[in-house]
Every structure is written in structure tokens, then in C-alpha cells.
Amino acid sequence: MKIQMIKLTLLLLALLPPQYAQSFVIVGHEFEPFYFTSGSKGIQGACYEIIQQLCKLEERHCKFKIAPLRTAINMVKKGDADMGCPLASSPPRNSAFSFSKSLFKTRYYFYGTPALVDKINRYEDLKGFTIGVLAPSMTEVSLQKIHEFSEKNFKIVSESSALTPLRKVEKKSYQLAYSNRDLSRNWIEKTRSTLIEIPNLGEDTEYAIFFSKKKLSEKQIKSIQQRLDEIKKSGFINSTCEKYKLTPAD
């Protein structure tokens, strides 16, 4: 009798739609306009909308969560989440995660008051300044490379929130922030801040979705990437980027 019940249960599970067979858990950090919470609307952003479309095509029920960057990365690494977004790839991260093809082109810039920015034309001009940056992050890694190149002639202050460096420069707690272009431009527009970016200095980067190697097989990740290719071909990614004033990757 028990064997028959088990067989019946397995048969019923096999007949269920795919979304009931497996849910995807997605996590991101507060990083507007890529992924963020917006009052009563809940989680929003370009990453959110693209992954929502992915879930629809995959016929999966998706649970979206938000956490600090380091926590979000660890959740995907440990298998507490299936995927996250956005994240820039790097050799250490590539050993821990699988990455989708790049979704967004973006850049890191220095931000300061107009009077100060006007005096900075090269990295040597950063001498003696204190510069805030989100850490740990690839933004910090980029700034550390500049720090080495500049013979460590400026001071780096690590902040746990992506917006804290911009806010502290606004309050004149220190001179400059090193921050993501799209996050910074969005914040400057919303708050009507007078901060501006230093042209030419900084580094280009790209963001993608990252996948848990503990939760998803190579076959599953390949299937998801094929879905993302379909979404891109349909024009959905480009239109989503346009909505959030982002630059789609090639």
C-alpha cells in the first residue's frame, strides 16, 4: 500500500506544471536603478524586470529578496539563492559562480563638488584627498588599482552602503566618492545634488546575472542563458534599459 502511495505521489508531482516543481530564489542588493526596493511597490529595477521575464518563459515561480551586497553574494555562493543581479565578474568570482552574458555596460567615476572637480584632470591630482567607496566590491578593487598606480597618494575610506560615499561628499565629510555611474546619476537626479563626475578618470565595467553552482547545474544555466538570448532578441532588455536609463551590453 505504501509503495502504491509513493508511486501515485511521484506521478502527481510529474504532472504538475514546472513552476511547482522548482522555485527560483533571486537576491540582489540596494543598487538603484538595477535592483532596489521602492516603498509599497516592493522590489523594482532593470535586473528585477529582466529576471521576471525569464521566470515567465521558464514557467517558474520566483521569489525575490534583497540583502546587503556581501550577504547577497554569500547567499548565492552557499546555495541559499539560485541567482543574483547585478554583479561584475572577476577571476575569484568566476571560480565561485557561473555568470550570464553581460546585460549592462556601466562605469566607475569619481564624484565631487564642481569647484573641486574642475581642478582634477589626472590621477596625480588626487593627491592628499580622502575618497569613499563601497567595500568590499569591484568598485573598491578598481579604486585600489588606481591607488597603487598613484603611489598611494590618497586615502581610501570603505563604506558598507553604495550611496554613503556620495552622501558624505555632499556633507563635506571627505572630498570624493568613487562610485558606479548609473547609481550615482540616478541619486544625483533624485536628490538634486550638485555633485558631478570627473570626466576621463575611472574604469569601464559590465554587470550580469550570477548563478549558484550549488543550486543550478550547467545544463540548467545553459537553458537559462538561451532564454536570456531570446529575451534580448525580442528587444525586451533594450527597452528595459531605456526605461531605467541604462546602457545594454553588446
Domains of the chain, residue spans: 19-104+205-248, 108-204
Residue 169 has pLDDT above 70, yes or no: yes
State residue 87 phi and psi, 5-degree precision.
Answer: -155, 140
Query: CA 210, 215, 217, 223: dihedral to nearest 10 degrees?
Result: -60
Query: 14 falls in which pLDDT band (50, 70, 90)?
Result: very low
For residues 199-227, give the mean pLDDT. 96
By mean pLDDT, which of 36-40, 69-73, 86-90, 177-181 is the weakest?
A: 36-40
Hey, what's the cell of 68?
Answer: 546587503
Contacts of 234 (CB under 8 A, 6+ apart): none
The C-alpha atoms of residue 122 and residue 149 are separated, in whole angstroms, by 12
For residues 60-76, give the mean pLDDT. 95
CATH of range 108-204; options 2.30.30.40, 3.40.190.10, 3.30.70.260, 3.40.50.720: 3.40.190.10
What are the Cα distances from residue 11, in Å, to 2, 5, 7, 14, 20?
14, 10, 6, 5, 14
3-class state of residue 124 by DSSP: helix
Hey, what's the cell of 172?
Answer: 563635506
Query: 4 falls in which pLDDT band (50, 70, 90)?
Result: low
Determine the length of the chain: 250
Residue 11 has pLDDT above 70, yes or no: no
The C-alpha atoms of residue 80 and residue 214 are separated, in whole angstroms, by 9
For residues 63-80, give the mean pLDDT. 96
The answer to whether 133 touches 165, Cβ cutoff 8 Å, is: yes
- DSSP secondary structure letter of residue 105: E
pTM score, whole prediction? 0.87
What is the pLDDT at residue 230? 97
Does the domain made of 19-104+205-248 have the CATH classification 3.40.190.10?
yes
